[in-house]
Structure 1
Amino acid sequence: MTEPSLMFPGRFNGPPGSANGGYACGVIAGHVPADLVEVTLLHPPPLDTALLVEETGPVYEVRPAGGDVVAVAKPVDEPVEVLPPVLDIPVDAEGAVTDANHPFRSCFTCGPDREPGDGLRIFVKRLPGQSILADLWTPDESLADDDGAVRPEIVWAALDCPGGWAAFNRIPGGVAVLGRMTARIDRVPYVGEQCVVVATSDWRDGRKIGAHSALYTADGEPLAAARAVWIDSTV
């Protein structure tokens, strides 16, 4: 069975010429009828290209008409681990890890060249004495539906790059790209609601690097959490 086409608009880029991995995974997950969905990216998700979602046995394949499979999605049962909240990001935390040698400066989620109100501008920081990265994020109205609720794929995007920067810490000077992501959303935030994003990386196996991220309100209410596998592209 083939679903109607989906498309990743150019605004939501990650690396130049391709979609932000978390945003793409979130859009794809929205086409899978399950509470918890794992999305594996096989190729960089193309921008401004009509893609078909086709149910093939237990998985859903995403591809352009007549083209190669870009991503595979499937329902999963394994719970997503939730990181503890960080309610206070100290002002003396080290500078954002995204400041130096950013490989994708126009990235929708973490690109420093994106203007406020255009990109998410989530610049995670190292917290002293912890293996956690964190930053504040307040969604703007362009990311929400008519009721002011942030669209789920934007939440996926907000969870994506913080985990990526945690993975980058395991490859100093190197670059990794998102390979697989699973996210659970308990509640989407609303426009103007201050949130805290936290992330860490807890394992590496060859080129694969594991990461976890979570989204909370400023008061510590859990909103969403994700696990991801990043691929070291410098090896």
Structure 2
Amino acid sequence: MTQAQALTIPAHIHGYPQVAFGGYLAGLLAANTGADTVRVDFRRVVPVGTPILLSRPEPGHAALTAVDDALLVQASPAALTLDPIPAPPWSDAVNAVEAALSSPHRAVTDCYGCGVACDPGRGLRLFPWRVPGTEIMAAAWTPDPGLADDNGELPPEVVWSALDCPGGLAAFIFSRMGQGAFTAAMTATQLAPITAGSDYISHAWAMHHDGRKHTVGVALSTSDGDLCALSEALWIEPRQP
């Protein structure tokens, strides 16, 4: 076991208010496992602006804990078996973004993943919407340079962030997931570098649901449809009073 590293998630990297963005946390852990495909399980809410600890309890595993040692999030090597739905054409992804931004039904938030209120480089500004005649949520996306490292590539925490919100939106639209749902687990792999200033297609689809549990697939591809990253995620609705 290596010594734990102290860190704090910046306040702007949130999904729900004051709650650290799940995809970002997952990417941080995935980068510390050394595995090509990683499953991340969320055990407790991680608040922004609060010190937490990153550790590697055994080879290939990583965890986030509170300062009182309570387990918050854990990651381990995994396998990903879903077959991705082919990406829609770039033109459809562009039209989906235009529909999202013009829809009166889309909430204006500062969510790190899909919030239109985020400044470029302070959020992904990834705006999926339904492709007409399909059960696919899609978005055209050109990552801002402020999201990239010194080499112009998106780090794992940003790539995994891009695999988060689209799946939730697919579950909300296609399997009628209830409000307040949250990411409970993500299994993902990155197949190619993703660079700032390049054009990508994000698309997501609902796979199945059982009661409060909803499973979704999310893919990130080049504008020509070449797969760059793939995820399967479990979202869970809160218990009703």
Q: Same fold (TM over 0.5)?
A: yes
- Give the counterpart letter for 1:142 in structure 2: G
Q: Percent identity?
A: 35
Alignment partner of 1:63 out of 62, 65, 74: 65
Kindly report the root-mean-square deviation, in angstroms, between the aligned alpha carbons of the 2 structures. 2.4
CA deviations over 1:207-233 (Å, ceiling 9, x no partner): 110010000111112110111000112
Deviates more, 1:33-42 or 1:110-119: 110-119
Per the normalisation by structure 1, the TM-score is 0.89
Match of residue 216 from structure 1: 221
Alignment partner of 1:194 out of 189, 199, 204: 199
Alignment partner of 2:81 out of 79, 89, 113: 79
Match of residue 208 from structure 2: 203
SS at match of 1:53: strand
Distance in 1 of aligned mates of 2:208 and 2:178: 18
- Say whether 1:119 aligns with 2:123: yes
Deviation at 1:112, TM superposition (A): 2.2
- Say whether 1:44 aligns with 2:28: no
Deviates more, 1:51-60 or 1:10-19: 51-60
Give the gaps of 5 or more residues in structure 1.
none
Query: Compared with structure 1, are the counterparts of its residues 86 and 51 closer, same or farther at alpha carbon in structure 2 (3 Å cutoff)?
Result: same
Q: How does 1:8-47 map to 2 (within 5 A)?
A: 8-47=9-48
Per the normalisation by structure 2, the TM-score is 0.87
Distance in 1 of aligned mates of 2:227 and 2:113: 20
Greater helix proportion = 2
Alignment partner of 1:178 out of 180, 183, 194: 183
CA deviations over 1:189-212 (Å, ceiling 9, x no partner): 111101110001111112110010
The total of aligned residue pairs comes to 234
- Give the counterpart letter for 1:14 in structure 2: G
- Say whether 1:143 aligns with 2:147: yes
- Say whether 1:53 aligns with 2:58: no
Alignment partner of 1:156 out of 160, 166, 169: 160
